[in-house]
Chain A
Amino acid sequence: MPYSEAFKDHLTNPRNAGELADANAVAEETNPVCGDRLRLSLRVVDGSIEVARFLAYGCPPTLACGSVLTEMIQGKSVEEARQLTRADLLNALGGLPSHKQHAAALAVETLRTTLESGCSGLLSW
């Protein structure tokens, strides 16, 4: 099994799963090649991410990346969240096999789209 303990933990006990009813930034991205999906909903207050929730469909790395992403961005400012990279996610999960790293790319892309959706819709940011 190439997966780390951190990875297995996120898969077995996903953090922050669900959909926020009072989100002010929401986006869903699909990997056009493999069909995996990630949906993020955030509640942003005074420029910082107060609550983050995710939904994911796809291979295990997509699920684990969604889970670890919400854990990493909750409590962070929007600016800090923008700086998050694929490598940060991979480190937090103890690495992924090279052919599964596209899951981290999907997570980062979904985060950026979600933050954009919030920026354009919410002048208070």
Chain B
Amino acid sequence: MSSTRRVYLDHSATTPADPRVVAAMMPYLTERFGNASSVHFFGQEARGAVDRARREVAGLIGARSNEIVFLSGGTEANNLAIRGLCEAVEPHGRHIITSSIEHSSVRGICEALEKRGWEITRLPAYEDGIVKVEDVRSSLRTDTVLISVMLANNEIGTIQPIQEIAALIRQERAQGCKHLWLHTDAVQAAGRIPIEVEQLGCDLLSLSAHKLYAPKGAGALYVRRGVRISGQNVGGHQERERRAGTEAVPGIVAFGTAARIADEELSVRNSHTAGLRERLESTVAERVPDIVFNGHPDRRLSHISNISFRFIEGQSLLISLDLEGIAVSTGSACSSGTLEPSPVIRALGRNDELARGSIRFSFGKDNTVADVGYLVDVLSRVAEKLRSLSPLNPKAMASRRFPQTVGRD
């Protein structure tokens, strides 16, 4: 039945704004309202705040301030990275290597470029959800200009070998391939694992504010010094000609503050979410039969757990949990009557049933041990009920009647 208790376990979708972040941005919605491009006092006050936020965001990933381009979010960052780079380097080749488990924004951009004649190689992620560097090497062609592989996956949290791919690119460059670049979507990874762009070796890196306890509407693209991209928004000089349009100062200030706090609290948050996740996975394994954990057991972000429940469709489990106040997500979607099992879970080699029955639990800094206890209690009960209805469940088929269901004879 409906419940007043609410447990939010969907922090990979978005996070609540941290009160410290909201406090930092508020003045820029009110008295400090200037346009950062204006030369007067009001404008310079806003400019100073944007510059400070740029240093803070750069600090989170070990970049220089002038390598950060502020945008509206992760999707725009991925668009600017891939389209912007591809347009700039098109004379040198029209081949992109990406993975089969990218976020829908990267998938969508690659599909759009494919329609315009670009060739895309999509690397497998295998059963553990991790791309192999050898596959990148064997897919390289003389006309490959971009490799775009996410730093950590949004559904299963697996961390990809970006540093190793970057090393491969350096070898290729040393052998004369001057026009080969590496983009990584770090929207899920940022603030959850330490990132140093120099060590990572990527040329472009996407970030989003609202995954870091800042409001929606801000993001950034790291563009390594010397890498040229074509701006996709034109008609203004903002962001060093790479993104025209008045800077969204309050959101940028919030992003900067959230990035600084995320950097400071990274290890505390990590050990907290890792503990909750461990508790979830061990108790679910004890109490719920017929489940499959998705993704590499260790090489993944500490806050994500992805579990497939046999005999159950993900949407039904999601809604049943929601009716008990628990918010999770599923990669599968049933929209307009079309079956869309999670493409990420399918890419792991799972069958349609497991891909349709996958649920992502993503923890945040404010979740508690009691949240996990409540989740597991509800989950075991709801999963058992849905399975008692399922024609895929051999036990349901064999049985005549289920005591937990209501009926009349």
Q: Which of B1-48 contact A (CB under 8 A)?
A: 1-2
From B335, B389, B397, contact of A63 by CB (8 A): B389
> Are A99 and B402 in contact, CB atoms less than 8 angstroms apart?
no
Q: Which of B319-343 contact A (CB under 8 A)?
A: 319-320, 322-323, 334-339
Q: What is the size category of the interface that chain B forms with chain A?
A: 35 or more
> Are B2 and A19 in contact, CB atoms less than 8 angstroms apart?
no
If the complex has contacts A37-B391, A99-B335, are A18 and B396 also in contact, measured as CB distance less than 8 A? yes
Q: Which residues of A contact B385 (CB under 8 A)?
A: 14
Q: Which of A32-57 contact B (CB under 8 A)?
A: 33-39, 51, 53-57
Q: Which residues of B contact A14 (CB under 8 A)?
A: 385, 389, 405-406
From residue A16, how far is it (CB to closest CB) to chain B in Å? 4
From B391, B401, B406, contact of A56 by CB (8 A): B391
Binds A, one of B75-83, B86-94, B308-316: B308-316
B134 an interface residue at 8 Å Cβ cutoff? no
Interface size on A, residues (CB 8 A): 38
B356 an interface residue at 8 Å Cβ cutoff? yes
> Are A60 and B319 in contact, CB atoms less than 8 angstroms apart?
yes
> Are A57 and B392 in contact, CB atoms less than 8 angstroms apart?
yes
> Are B399 and A18 in contact, CB atoms less than 8 angstroms apart?
yes
Q: Which residues of B contact A74 (CB under 8 A)?
A: 408
Q: Which residues of B contact A51 (CB under 8 A)?
A: 409
B390 an interface residue at 8 Å Cβ cutoff? yes
Identity of the chain A residue whose Cβ is nearest the Cβ of B314 in the assembled complex: A59
Of the candidates B334, B396, B406, B408, the one having the most CB atoms from chain A within 10 angstroms of its own CB is B334
If the complex has contacts A34-B337, A58-B334, A99-B336, are A17 and B388 also in contact, measured as CB distance less than 8 A? yes
A76 an interface residue at 8 Å Cβ cutoff? no
A11 and B320 alpha carbons, distance in the complex (Å): 7
If the complex has contacts A12-B320, A18-B388, A55-B397, are A33 and B338 also in contact, measured as CB distance less than 8 A? yes
Q: Which residues of A contact B226 (CB under 8 A)?
A: none
A1 and B2 alpha carbons, distance in the complex (Å): 12
From A13, A34, A55, contact of B396 by CB (8 A): A55
Q: Which residues of A contact B319 (CB under 8 A)?
A: 3, 11, 60
A17 and B352 alpha carbons, distance in the complex (Å): 24
From B323, B335, B337, contact of A12 by CB (8 A): B323
Which 3 A-B pairs rank lowest in CB-CB distance, beginning with the nearest? A55-B391, A17-B405, A16-B407
16 chain-A/chain-B pairs, Cβ below 8 angstroms = A8-B2, A12-B1, A17-B388, A17-B407, A19-B397, A28-B391, A33-B338, A33-B339, A35-B339, A38-B391, A55-B390, A57-B313, A57-B391, A58-B313, A60-B320, A63-B386
State the B residues within 8 Å of A (CB).
1-2, 311-313, 315-316, 319-320, 322-323, 334-339, 352, 356, 385-386, 388-392, 396-402, 405-409
State the A residues within 8 Å of B (CB).
1, 3, 8, 11-21, 28, 31, 33-39, 51, 53-60, 63, 66, 70, 74, 99, 102
Query: Other CB < 8 Å A-B pairs besides A1-B322, A11-B319, A18-B400, 19 of them?
Result: A14-B405, A15-B406, A16-B408, A17-B396, A17-B402, A18-B402, A19-B398, A28-B391, A53-B407, A55-B391, A55-B396, A55-B397, A56-B390, A58-B316, A58-B334, A59-B313, A63-B316, A63-B389, A74-B408
